[in-house]
Structure 1
Amino acid sequence: MPTKNELINFFRSEFPQADIVIESVSAKSVTIRKKINHTHLRPGGTVSGPTLMEMADAVIYVAILAEIGLVALAVTTSLNINFLRKPASDKDILAVCKLIKLGKLLAVGEVSLFSEGEDEPVAHAVGTYAIPPR
């Protein structure tokens, strides 16, 4: 399985537009960070829903690749998100994924999103990815 540095290099190469930071990688669990700035905010001074959805989708992808290897063609088939509370506009967002199913063709991840330093999640998501046949 790829190391944290190999995952970081893969994202730099394949997704240079991605502005996520891979914080930690362990068995079926990954944490990523997004540095929040004014481009991620919506009126009312909160982090936008699309930013949180991007984080949920990305962290599931990183968690899957950490387990199956660097497969660029694994794709999202569903993503369901619940927005729970207002994220802080002046704190980074952390996304923590735990894979709850990793099969040959499908993987399912559960994600909790937090404003950095807060104990209560700002959103919860579950996503499914299709894994290409080997």
Structure 2
Amino acid sequence: MVRPPAAESPVQRTEVLDRGALNRLRRNSGMSLQWISWDNSRGHLRVEERDGLVLLRGTQQQRNGPGRLEIDGVVLRIDRTSFVFRGRIDIHQAPGDRAECPRSGDLHFRVTGSRRYWRMQEMETCGRLTDYVDIYF
């Protein structure tokens, strides 16, 4: 008999391995999806903390267009250069033939080099285009 995969366990608390990184996330300067923000406009990302859990929720709307990015979920773990996010990242009205591009589950964000943002590492989905979702600090 094949058993269904175990459901993701509920998150009790965000594992904070670097307080400085958490502070950068708290004071973030927005988020972006590259094809929405060619003009350097950013969406708003709200960070809330409730009972030891870090919650993220945000939206970016394409100026003069239908594109939209939405983020909603929790941070499972954060360290100096990365964090793990569990939740939904939805891309609406994507260019080309990818009108909707929902993602859910555990997604990884990482800072590389001297960049001043975390970039989602699961960049490819929904067709052949690459989506760069960035959270700035």
TM-score band w.r.t. shorter chain: 0.3 to 0.5
Structure with more helix by fraction: 1
Output the TM-score relative to the length of structure 1.
0.35
Q: Higher Cα Rg: structure 1 or 2?
A: 2
Higher relative contact order (CA 8 A, sep 6+): 1
Output the TM-score relative to the length of structure 2.
0.34
Structure with more strand by fraction: 2
